[in-house]
Structure 1
Amino acid sequence: MTMCMPYMRGPTPLSRYARSLGVQEAAVEAQPLLLFPMYTVPLEALMQMSQVVPHEELKEKGILVEFDPSMGHAAFVSHQWVDSQHPDPEFKQMRVLQDALKHAMSSVEISLDVVTATVMPSAKSLPTSKLCSQPLFLWYDYFSCPQLENQAGGESRPCLSKAIDSIPAYITKCSFFFALCPVLENPSGSRLLTPATWAERGWCRVERAVHELGPCESWILIRSSIELELVVIPAVSPVGCLGGRPPAEGQFSVASDRRKLQPLLEEALKRKLLLLLKAQDFVNYRLLLNLQGIHLRGFPFPRHLEPIPGFQAEDHANVPDRSASVLVAQFLYQNGFSSVNETDQAGWSPLHYGALRGDVSLIQGLLMKRADPNRLTKQDQPSVGLPPFSSALTISVCFKHNAAARVLISAKAQIEGGLLKPMEFAAAGDNPEGVQLLHEAGGQLHVRSVMGFTALEIASCRGAASAMLEIVRLAKAEQLDFSGALWCALALKAEGGTASIVGWLLEHRADVNQSRNPWHSSLYGALACTKALQHRFGQQSKATRQFYHMWGATPLVMAMLESQYEGAATLIAAGAKLELCNSRGWSAADFIREQSVPDFLLQALAGNLEECKRVSTVAQSRGYAEKFC
């Protein structure tokens, strides 16, 4: 968390209120209610397990420990149940957790994903020494919550209900958050579990959101036994890992769960805002204050918190355009700005924060006060997934505030402004309306960005299916490089490596075996050379490893580098060659031998492609028609 002191001409109500919070510590530090004890499993006990048994059995054996922070660190394990009656009947998911923890403990750090490491220079990896610095205890639902009460047929499960209602409190007490998301089939072979399916589950989204609104925002995604990555961009950002997924828009088995979660998230937002104020971290306070609408999107009648008391609308009664003036004045008051053209330490102006909020009347009011629509931010912001030199228009289309984007375009906002253009973020944010809006205003679909990627390639690597369809509808077919989009889908982000995205690109005649070098732009090529040299000379990370092996790599090689096993199955089913080597002499077959991979890839290595074809069919049936019809 960046600790920022106010960057203003004099004290504002925001800075004065933040300083006053020292005497309100009890309110700021208020924790969610703990209605059921926080039972955990010590790391040593978990590493010796060979089957997943319920809470009651572990408790009887004395394995469960009621956690207290004085004992060490706790880690919350978020996961999908492999079967409806049992979380992990074949112990496959838990074995991945054991192996991943063993791998982490023997490593120096848990690296950022490649895209974050490339465009967010202020984001840092997690030293694994932090995992080992104190005894570690793990919270896992089947271990930590009662499972067997009233199995004789009664519906009442009071202890389980109390434990479920205590999940926000458990997460808040945890120093670490693991999303356990290996690619697995359920025992019947009718369903494929992946990071993408984890991110669609409503409760998994809630768990992630509560953690990200706590004191430790980053978390660890476990893709396989050796593939762990640190996620620093929150779920509300469309450009983060598995991002653009507010909790209320997730899938809930029990519909009533969605309604009861609204006050839970509103309280989490309030706590986080107060903690940021108490720390005088005004940059992150402003970001969260104006992201509230995204966090609560999908809930009925969400309330917008305005923590700074004392604003008087009457003070603006005798000014022209009173309603706009009052709205702007209240916004400046809550955000701690003295004027519309002021910037804070991150180089963000009120218009940038207004674009994040997406309020059309506010944007109009700020522009009436002569806010500059083309001012660029100065620093990257991992808290929202935006690089440095972003414009208000870029922020608007990234977060699908398209009405606000129209107002900015009318005010002569530059369509091609910023280090990364608005069109790139409309594509990455899966915003088809934004793509169309920018295209009509003169934005280019086929021109490569400063990093050398087209809008279709960016949408593909993000798995932004709606944006992909809109780009194809608007562009001329000869201008689109579907083979390049296929390579990007497998190379840059897990969201693009789904069977549905890969299958759709192959239907558009993408070459399944076309290799690529990173010299599609001089900047990206220079970056790739630098990272490859770092890897060769010992400065190794997930990002440097990928850049090292990128040269001459096929989509299948990139899929194996990124543990995109679902997409790899679809490539193999479509004729991708396992023995084609990159410029370093490594083939997809070599990576399969090196890694702990699903059985369908091992069978493909042995010459049996039928399992990859079956898995690809199962995976595409999950969402293919829904995304691309």
Structure 2
Amino acid sequence: MGASLCKPDEQPIGCAASTVHACHFPLWAVKVSDFMQMRGAPEPHNVLQEKGVLHQYYPGMFVIFVSHQWLSSVHPDPQGAQMRVLQKALAGVIDGTVQITENIVAHSYDEISLASDTQKRIADAFLFFDWFAIPQITARTPGVNEETTKTDAALAVQSIPAYVELCDLFLALVPELTHKDSAQRVNYTTWMSRGWCRAELWCRLLSNKSDTSVIVAYSATEAEFMFPLDWQNRSIVDGDFTVEADRTEVVRLGEMAVESKIRHLQDRGPLSHYRFWAALCPNLLRQQRKWSEMDAFLRHFKFASLREAVQDDTGMNAVMCAVFSGDTNMLRSLAGSRANMNHTLEGMSELGYYDTQTALMAATKSRQDVDVLRVLLECRADVNGCARTGLTAIFLCRTPEHVKILLEHRADMPDYVLAGAASFACPETVKALISHRCDASKAEVLHSVALMSRSNGRALETAKLLLAHRADVNEKHTPMGELIWYYRKARFRAAVVGLSNCSMSTRFWAARSGISPLGVAALVGHEQLVQLFLEYGAEPFANDSGHLPEDLARCSHHHHLLPMLSTFAT
């Protein structure tokens, strides 16, 4: 949602000051305890104001910002479906039955979860939900509720970035539902595509708070922290806007957020994070780099001299700065001064880049232009250099051009490479690998595409391509290596407390042994993949714990899948 924003010279009013964005209208919020008692479609601001359940923001108020996609053109949630999911999810977090853990891709053996003191505060917290908080808000329509009307609604919409900064928690409410007008599915992928949703997200992630985490609620029982790479490749500039005129002003907000983040890190550190964001900035904002010569590059990234830049062995050194900024000229210059083109990352895990990943891996993973890969390889980057996980750059390739240049330099291509592209890349990249004899019938590629389908808007296309090239729709996942003990640990916990009472992460690991592609699609709630796999002859067999795909869908509250799955279950 959104509306045209205020002019830069307008004076902020009515709200506590935020660190970056101006607040032009008070932040109004509802107590979580009052929200839990609501029934039916959510009522608008004026009705709640009359009932006396809205509370104006004050310093120290613990507020949860709820970002969501509207389900109709005139009402955000006409059937109250989103609201019911949020109520159940909050109830689960409060009583401990819903645990918020790190994303499966970012999984570590020491499971990260919501801090206990934060969990305790949620019951007494306040909720910011646009329909509650903003007076007379409507869906965006060209020529309607424009900035020139100077209504309270316009002022409140202009203040949304400030509201995000003032809030203590940010929750993306993204259950799989249907838009009333278009009949299109609305979910995490479509939420991520919306320009205004991206703006809210950026204001959170790029704020100067110590905790900028984002909680993603997929269903009443599934919530996890957002994986950093889910948003870094989705610029505000490219977002979808109902009203095209909003794009310019929302992009301006993004620029303010990015520049403020960089200034804050420049002043307070850590230096590695400053360098990362300074390097990523041109790509995030689709802008030209602010340097063209070596001296300017060194100053920008805080290197005292070329010699220091070449000898720096910290994780985010000069080579990594050049890679993340896509600067081939600087890469050549650094290589000419004998900088190590096989340098590895360290200390950047919270940003989605893990220790021991090489410069070439960083280039593929961050979707750099193929020229960046070409220069690295020409300057003796090891095409088969691997991280501690054993993965190489070709596993992380994101474009057909990445595939081509890596294979031209004799990259090894084991079967598991296709699983990486199926998870994170586009169908064209998968096709490029298949055309070079990567076998789609191996490496559990359908499991991979189903597992990452929530954040991959083209997962269905990829699955169809793989099936057309003999991917096994009934392949069972076989645990291997050091993960076996983790599967056993998760299965034991699930046996004790029940699969539906486990955290989203534990539920996944407990269900994984012996699971089929259909089981994975049911577990993550992807209706189109479930239908596709069934059409291709998927058998609804149980995993090694005895759970059918129908059971996995039910325990994750994906009730919309049950008619399809129960029809085939025996």
Cα displacement (A) at 1:483: 7.5
Match of 2:430 in 1: 468
Over 3 Å counting, the alpha-carbon distance change for 1:231 and 1:155 in structure 2 is closer
Which letter does structure 2 place at the counterpart of 1:570? L
Match of 2:345 in 1: 377
Does residue 327 of structure 2 align to residue 339 of structure 1? no
Which letter does structure 1 place at the counterpart of 2:36? M
Mean alpha-carbon deviation: is it higher for 139-148 or for 154-163? Answer: 154-163
After superposition, the C-alpha distances for 1:552-588 in whole angstroms (9 at most, x for unaligned) are 111122223334344224333444333x111111111
CA–CA distance in structure 2, aligned partners of residues 293 and 325 of structure 1 = 17
Query: 1:229-628 residue pairs with structure 2 within 5 A?
Result: 229-233=224-228, 235-237=230-232, 244-297=233-286, 301=287, 304=290, 324-333=293-302, 339-343=308-312, 347-383=315-351, 385-401=352-368, 402-419=370-387, 420-426=391-397, 430-445=398-413, 447-448=414-415, 454-462=416-424, 464-473=426-435, 475-476=436-437, 479-481=439-441, 484-492=444-452, 494-495=454-455, 498-519=459-480, 522-525=481-484, 528=487, 541-578=503-540, 580-599=541-560, 601-607=561-567
Name the SS of the counterpart of 2:65 in structure 1: strand
Cα displacement (A) at 1:302: 5.8
CA contact (8 A) 1:209 1:235 kept: no
RMSD over aligned Cα atoms: 3.1
Provide the TM-score with structure 2 as the length reference: 0.85
CA–CA distance in structure 2, aligned partners of residues 501 and 582 of structure 1 = 24
Residue among 114, 118, 121 paired with 1:133: 121
Over 3 Å counting, the alpha-carbon distance change for 1:518 and 1:496 in structure 2 is farther
Structure 2 alignment gaps of length 5 or more: 1-16
Cα displacement (A) at 1:528: 4.5
Match of 1:212 in 2: 205
Match of 1:58 in 2: 48
CA–CA distance in structure 2, aligned partners of residues 431 and 512 of structure 1 = 25
Over 3 Å counting, the alpha-carbon distance change for 1:354 and 1:531 in structure 2 is farther
Which letter does structure 1 place at the counterpart of 2:557? S
Does residue 96 of structure 2 align to residue 95 of structure 1? no
Structure 1 alignment gaps of length 5 or more: 1-27, 238-243, 307-322, 449-453, 610-629
Does residue 186 of structure 2 align to residue 225 of structure 1? no
CA contact (8 A) 1:81 1:87 kept: yes
CA contact (8 A) 1:43 1:138 kept: yes
Over 3 Å counting, the alpha-carbon distance change for 1:122 and 1:361 in structure 2 is farther
Provide the TM-score with structure 1 as the length reference: 0.78
CA–CA distance in structure 2, aligned partners of residues 338 and 124 of structure 1 = 39
Name the SS of the counterpart of 1:179 in structure 2: strand
Which letter does structure 1 place at the counterpart of 2:218? R
Aligned length: 535
Name the SS of the counterpart of 1:372 in structure 2: coil
Over 3 Å counting, the alpha-carbon distance change for 1:88 and 1:29 in structure 2 is closer
Match of 2:58 in 1: 68
CA–CA distance in structure 2, aligned partners of residues 403 and 264 of structure 1 = 31
Q: Percent identity?
A: 26
Over 3 Å counting, the alpha-carbon distance change for 1:287 and 1:515 in structure 2 is same
Match of 1:162 in 2: 155
After superposition, the C-alpha distances for 1:139-195 in whole angstroms (9 at most, x for unaligned) are 1121112226999x9755422222222111011101111111111123367211121
CA contact (8 A) 2:43 2:132 kept: yes
CA–CA distance in structure 1, aligned partners of residues 242 and 144 of structure 2 = 20
Over 3 Å counting, the alpha-carbon distance change for 1:564 and 1:149 in structure 2 is closer
CA contact (8 A) 1:340 1:369 kept: no
